[in-house]
Every structure is written in C-alpha cells, then in structure tokens.
Amino acid sequence: MNVHTLFTGIANTHIVEEARGVVVIDAGMPRQARRIVNRLGALGHSPADVRLILLTHGHIDHAGSAVALKRLTGAPIAMHRADARLTATRDLKIPPGRSGAIDAAGAVLRAFGWIVPLETFTPDVWLDDGMALRDFGIAARVVHTPGHTAGSVCLAFEDGTVFVGDALLNALRVSFPLWWEDPASARESACRIRSLRPRVCLSGHGRPFDLNALDAFVGDHCG
C-alpha cells in the first residue's frame, strides 16, 4: 500500500494505492478536483482507476470537491449517513469551538460563509461501523468515530495505517479537533482510535503521527 498526501486548500487529501485499486480519502476544498486528478496522472493512474471517493466527514474542507471529482473519475462518493445533513445544503456548518476563542472564530466563518460554496450532494455509498471495503479494492474497514461531527469515520487498514480525518489533528502536536459537535463522543472516539493500536495515523490536518504520539496525548484519558 502506498499513500500520497496533497494539501487541498485547508485539509489533506490522501491517495491510497493498493494492488487492486486506488481510493481517494477526502476531496478537499471546492476547485481542487483537477489538482487531484493531475496528481493521479503523475502517479500513473487514469481518473477511471479511482474506485471510491471516501469522505471522513461532511465538512467543506474535506467534501468541497467530491462532486467535481466524481464527475472526473466516475467513482462513487462514500460517507456516513449522519453527515448527509452537512452536504445537503450550502450553509457552512461549523460546530461549537473547543475554546471560547476558537468558537468566536467559528462564529465569524459561519456569519460570512465560505467564498466558494459547497456543491451539495447525497453520497452513493453509506459507510457504517465495521464495514469492510474489499469490494473497492482496499484492505480496510470503517470505524465510526463521532464527536467532531456525528458522522465522522476513520479508515483502518490491515497494515496498521489509520486515517483519522478530523477526529484527531496533528498541526503542532496531536490534539482534539478545534470544533466539535459532541466533546464527550470525541474523547471516546480518541480512545477508540488508540484501542486500534495504529502503527501510523494520518490526520485531515497536519502531519502523520505514530502510536507513541497518540499514547502521549490520550494515554491518561482512556481506560
């Protein structure tokens, strides 16, 4: 398995190559689809090689180019049902912030919206906890990790690589998401990710991190 990460506006998009297929994890901000396809081309893939566009959750920095990427590749869009409300309208839905200052920043974003609105959609494939994705050519299963959003999921590969979306960030260090719909669930989800004993975690924001870094962050919180 090979992973190629691109910065698509605000968040990371990961291109995962396995023997039987290519999967794109998160589609970036609006107007990023062509860039993603260009990177696929540089890796020797045609757009039609993409078997699935998997969204870790429904925020615009991850779902913004999902429809455009589907048009270019023909691949279905997969997401958890609990986030469908986020991609059904153009409103910018930022959950409450982790602190007062972060919440104030979210309120400003909510008030002004985003410069480029979300191209709305209904996913083609519904992701559920425990779902295996071998039909799409990858040795991975879905882990439901609500908190940042109700429909946030991680994708756990058999080789110990876990794509955590925004359930955990690693900008300067491993941390909880800046905004969260349900802090208690987010904390439980962080412990659930740790219980997977991942070899490496790839976040929606920031650099990859290993189990030691994860333990250092959540070790005291989890039973």
Q: Decide whether 68 or 169 has the Cβ nearer to Zn ion.
A: 169
Under the binding rule (CB under 5 A), the answer on residue 181 touching Zn ion is no
> How far apart (Å, rounded) are the C-alpha atoms in residues 72 and 50?
10
Q: Decide whether 96 or 219 has the Cβ nearer to Zn ion.
A: 96
Place of tokens 């699935």: 52
Under the binding rule (CB under 5 A), the answer on residue 204 touching Zn ion is yes
With contact defined as beta carbons under 8 Å apart, do 191 and 145 qualify?
no
Under the binding rule (CB under 5 A), the answer on residue 25 touching Zn ion is no
Under the binding rule (CB under 5 A), the answer on residue 11 touching Zn ion is yes
Q: What is the largest CA-CA distance in the chain?
A: 46
Under the binding rule (CB under 5 A), the answer on residue 166 touching Zn ion is yes
Residues 51, 158, 219: CA angle, nearest 5 degrees: 120
Under the binding rule (CB under 5 A), the answer on residue 61 touching Zn ion is yes
Q: Decide whether 3 or 139 has the Cβ nearer to Zn ion.
A: 3
Q: Helix 183-195 to helix 211-218 angle, to the nearest 10 degrees?
A: 140
- Residue 27's SS3 state is coil
Smallest separation (angstroms) from Zn ion to the CB of 46: 28
Under the binding rule (CB under 5 A), the answer on residue 59 touching Zn ion is yes
The interface region with Zn ion, picked from 53-61, 155-163, 168-176, 182-190 by CB under 5 A, is: 53-61
With contact defined as beta carbons under 8 Å apart, do 151 and 83 qualify?
yes
Sites of contact with Zn ion (CB under 5 A)? 11, 59, 61, 166, 204
